[in-house]
Amino acid sequence: MNAGCMKNMLETLFTRAWYYFDKIYVVGPSARHLLIFRREEPRARFDDVIRSYFELYSHIQEIGAEQYLTFREKYTPSQDGPGYFEAQFVSENEIRAVASMAAPWIESMAPDATITVESAGDDDWVRIELRHPRLRGSYKFNVQSERSLTEDALRLHALNELFESQSVAVLADLNFARMNEAPLGSVTEVHGDFLTQLPRPQPSELEVAFNIPMPFIEGLSTKEILRIRDHEAASFEVFRNALRQAITERLKASGNDSTSEDIALDIVEDLIIPALADIENKLDAALRLLKRGSSVGLAAGGTVATVGLLTGFPIAGPLVGAALALPDVRNYFNARREIESSDLYFLWNISEKSMHASVD
């Protein structure tokens, strides 16, 4: 619930969506959940949570993401573990598959789990704080306990509590995603344990798009990506339409054993990487033409013309007409227009900015 942690999760998930999607469902606690939390937690803890939500929402507004988000209440059908879960869009077989993970999952987590045991203000209860390298932050549980319980027993008890709460949370999120026909994203590592036990979804346009790896835009924040997307709206739509067409064609040609991840990787290897390389090659060739054309026949003023054309600085006097009249310079601008109208120009543009952001 730390604001910094939530911002990091937001950035991780959001940068995986803005190159294709227009809306993200944000599923979180409602006023009813916060009232329950207020009754069960100390006032100081409740105040910290409210401040964290306020900071997170302020961050969302600052980066310009608010218009792209749809907020929904976090619906958790049961806190009694996955075996008691009831939902319209999750099958009984899936619930049983997740529930069957309990013993092996707890056993695998136990060696690296550490706990801190405190009094809960009642002789019959203790408060356990659980930490693990695979968890973000710590988890706290009030456990009814006899004084004779060993630390190992309390650790297993806390892991069991964690399994029940987290597995139910994943099933609830999966139910919500299917209800809204949207791909499900998570940055919580242990949620991946539960999701891997479920059958892979049938490949669909949205699932394939969500699984396309985008190392090309690493280094850019959500704020920067949204700003570029808004500024380059036309090239973004051209890029997305081309990607959508490629996904549709691959889905029609894919076999029964193909997964969304398989199709996504094929699109990267067969379409995205070659197209980006083609844009780069065309741009290099155009720049060579520009450098050659802007220096021929302009004598001492040629250098000034070249610098002006490459950087966008205004060029004064007759040099403009002389430079633009050269065939190679005209060819440069024609090539540049062709590049900017290509299907993947938006992705090339954003990847260039990502590269410069990483270097800076």
- Per residue in 88-114, pLDDT tens? 888 888 888 899 999 999 999 999 999
Confidence category of residue 303, pLDDT binned at 50, 70, 90? very low
What would the two tokens of residue 221 be? 């924040």
Position 208 scores a pLDDT of 92
**Worst-scoring range by mean pLDDT, 38-42, 90-94, 124-128, 296-300?**
296-300
**Worst-scoring range by mean pLDDT, 150-154, 318-322, 356-360?**
318-322
**Worst-scoring range by mean pLDDT, 154-168, 261-275, 339-353?**
339-353
Confidence check: pLDDT of 49 > 70: yes
Confidence check: pLDDT of 338 > 60: yes
CA distance 319 to 168: 70
pLDDT, mean over the chain: 80
Confidence category of residue 126, pLDDT binned at 50, 70, 90? confident
Confidence check: pLDDT of 315 > 50: no
The model's pTM: 0.74
Residue among 108, 83, 109, 105 at smallest CA distance from 94: 83
More confident residue, 186 or 76: 186
More confident residue, 286 or 347: 347
Task: Tell me the percentage of the chain whose pLDDT exceeds 90.
Answer: 19
Confidence category of residue 242, pLDDT binned at 50, 70, 90? very high
Helix 3-14 with 43-62: angle, nearest 10 deg:
40
Confidence check: pLDDT of 263 > 80: yes
Confidence check: pLDDT of 316 > 50: no
Summarised one tens digit per residue, pLDDT across range 141-168 is 877 766 567 888 889 989 998 998 888 8
Handedness of CA 111, 115, 117, 120 (dihedral sign): negative
Residue 236's alpha-carbon distances to 35, 67, 179, 239, in angstroms, are 43, 17, 28, 5
Count of CB atoms situated within 10 Å of the CB of 247: 24
Position 256 scores a pLDDT of 75
Confidence category of residue 268, pLDDT binned at 50, 70, 90? very high
Confidence category of residue 121, pLDDT binned at 50, 70, 90? low
CA neighbours closer than 13 Å in the CB half-sphere of residue 73: 8
CA distance 36 to 57: 21
